[in-house]
Amino acid sequence: MTTDSSNAAKPRAASGQAMWGGRFSDKPAELMQAINVSISFDRRLASQDLEGSRAHAAMLQNTGVISSEDAAAIQKGLGAIGEEISAGVFPFREEFEDIHMNVEARLHELIGPAAGRLHTARSRNDQVALDFRMWVREACDRTHVQIRALQKALLAKAEPHATTLMPGFTHLQPAQPVTFGHHLMAYVEMFGRDASRFADARVRMNESPLGAAALAGSPFPIDRHQTAKALGFDRPAANSLDAVADRDFALESLAAASITSIHLSRLAEEIVIWMTPQFGFVTLTDAFTTGSSIMPQKKNPDAAELVRAKAGRLLGSFTQLAVVMKGLPLTYSKDMQEDKVPTFEAFDALELSLRAMAGMVTDLEPNRDRMGAAAGAGFSTATDLADWLVRQLGLPFREAHHITGAAVKRAEQIGCDLPDLPLAELQVLEPRITHDVYKVLTPQASVASRMSYGGTAPDQVRVQIQRWKEILA
């Protein structure tokens, strides 16, 4: 199956039709060129394009499709191109539209007609599917590492604060006392699920489209298993149509990225709230805050606000690609050129947000006194009173709930908090209440009592911290 390189057609480097112009008698209009060219953004796929081409050339040689001499020249030329790109001297040119044609044209300039053998048994359709899939796979790997780094930062901050009291909220109203360590561990769990989503997506995307060619496969005796293995894939994609048409690997990764950004945004929002003078729960140093151009007293949590805002960009990227793909028939349509920019932008924003949040978590310091005082406010131990009535007096919970509500109302009327409500007032509501009830009405007692698995009791918080230390080790 080896062919003679002397008969290979030479690319027309002077025209916008450089690699596909045989059917055409004139070059594209300037507007067509402007809308069609993608090298301004798909140049980010250069390393993946070179890696795929090296694997493809090696396979073509091993299967006898191209000669050893041509394969050696191709590999040498691809190596030189890689060095040019690394050195920042590679001549990216719009006339060659995309990264694939730019590499092939430069390869022809470096090694001559043998370069024309490289594209045997492949198409730009499976080539871009391969490059983009490899890029997304690497982005998922990077993101997974960054999520783990954020989890470790949260663990390091949670451990010394396993006993630090703070209010737990529902509806942003004081609900029950919890600990700051317990609160941070909630985000460790969230980001753990995020990491697992990227890991799951990676498993599904790890099939190689290379060799599917334009859409129908190849008549050459290629070995798709060889290229798949060389490029770190588990297997070649089993259907050539699906291989070039599939972008759900990007959609699934963007969905995982969007959910992660939502979790980041929720934590960012809490940091913003906690830093207000009205809360005063935490402080950030100058490293993650900025000032005002007019108000000298201001110390703004801009890093948290920007992380919160970037969630919108990620959600928009997922929506953008979903809308691009939703109406496309099989297999490849030029619409799919619009898959890269939103994906690149989304992962850029996510990776920056993850690093910034890990930095903020490490940087922030809780105000123990302010948090502790707030932990007991708003009748936050009312549920503990109801639980005591059930445990000690055997009341049905609904009856205990009603008595507790009446106790809260009476405390409001006389202007005190629940732990300060006189025993006589409580006994008006239920004569069997004793002074022992006050043992459960402090925030410390409330927190210590929540010993159920996953609860806020410091011992339980430490159990979860240790569990995650072992997972992340």
Q: Catalytic residue positions?
A: 171, 292
Of all helices (H) and strands (E), which one includes residue 132?
Answer: helix 124-158
3-state secondary structure of 167: strand
Spell out a b/e string for 139-151, using b for 16 or more CB atoms within 10 Å of the CB, else e.
Answer: bbeebbebbbbbb
Beta-sheet pairing, 235-236 with 207-208:
parallel
What is the spatial distance between Cα 62 and Cα 70, in angstroms, rounded to a whole number? 12
Side chain identity, residue 152: K
Instruction: Please give, one letter per residue, the 3-state secondary structure of 169-236.
Output: EECCEEEEEEEHHHHHHHHHHHHHHHHHHHHHHHHHHCEECCCCCCCCCCCCCCCHHHHHHHCCCCEE
In sequence order, the 6+-apart residues with CB closer than 8 A to the CB of 350 are 143, 257, 260, 261, 310, 314
Of 219, 252, 27, 9, nearest in space to 136 by CA: 252
3-state secondary structure of 319: helix
3-state secondary structure of 12: coil
Whether residue 440 contacts residue 449, with contact meaning beta carbons closer than 8 Å, is answered with: yes
Strand ranges, E, within 204-355? 207-208, 235-236, 282-283
What is the spatial distance between Cα 231 and Cα 227, in angstroms, rounded to a whole number? 6
Q: What residues are paired with 282 via a beta bridge? A: 366
Of all helices (H) and strands (E), which one includes residue 10?
Answer: none
CA torsion sign for 284, 285, 289, 290 is positive
Name the token pair of 78: 């691809």
Angle between helix 124-158 and helix 248-274 axes, rounded to 10 deg? 30
Question: In this structure, what DSSP letter does residue 290 have?
Answer: B
Residue 297 CB coordination number (10 Å): 6
Residue 114 CB coordination number (10 Å): 24
